[in-house]
Amino acid sequence: MISLVTTEHIERAKELHEAHYKNQFDLPNFLSDFLLVYSSINKDEQLVSIAGVRPILEMIAITDPSKSARDKYHAVYDILQASMFTAAANKYDQLHAFIQDPHWKKVMLKRGFSESKGQALVIGV
């Protein structure tokens, strides 16, 4: 059953994170920067799971492969700077890029991107 989050749920989530997930990901602050936070509780009203939906930013770029390496180098730098500025100006602390091409992955890693913890999954709504 879905329930509004209580302070007890938050405390239990902290305990669960410390015991089971601290080496996998940082404990999010469920009380800030989420569109909605909710708990799933069992029939005894015990917390089973806590979750939240938060917005993330994704940078999408289309690059002309026929342009020179120099032009593409400068373009990546320029669009990344503009994207990072946009993210920071809108109070986001992360910018995501989903890369399929190994070459572009290498380029983005050199520009400061890092691989995310876990594998990105998506579902249509």
Q: Which pLDDT value is given to residue 33?
A: 82
Q: Which pLDDT value is given to residue 53?
A: 95
For the chain, what are the domain ranges? Answer: 2-53, 69-110
Determine the average pLDDT of the residues in 77-85: 95
Q: Which pLDDT value is given to residue 116?
A: 87
Q: What are the distances in angstroms from CA 97 to CA 86, 92, 121?
A: 14, 14, 13
Determine the average pLDDT of the residues in 39-66: 94
What does DSSP assign to residue 96?
A: B
What does the mean pLDDT of the chain come to? 93
Q: Which pLDDT value is given to residue 120?
A: 86
Beta strands in the chain (DSSP E): 2-4, 36-41, 47-53
Q: Which pLDDT value is given to residue 122?
A: 87
pTM over 0.95: no
Q: To which H or E segment does residue 122 belong?
A: none
pLDDT, one tens digit per residue, over 2-40 is 999 999 999 999 999 999 999 988 999 999 889 999 999
Q: Which pLDDT value is given to residue 66?
A: 96
Determine the average pLDDT of the residues in 100-117: 91
pLDDT, one tens digit per residue, over 85-106 is 999 999 898 999 998 889 989 9
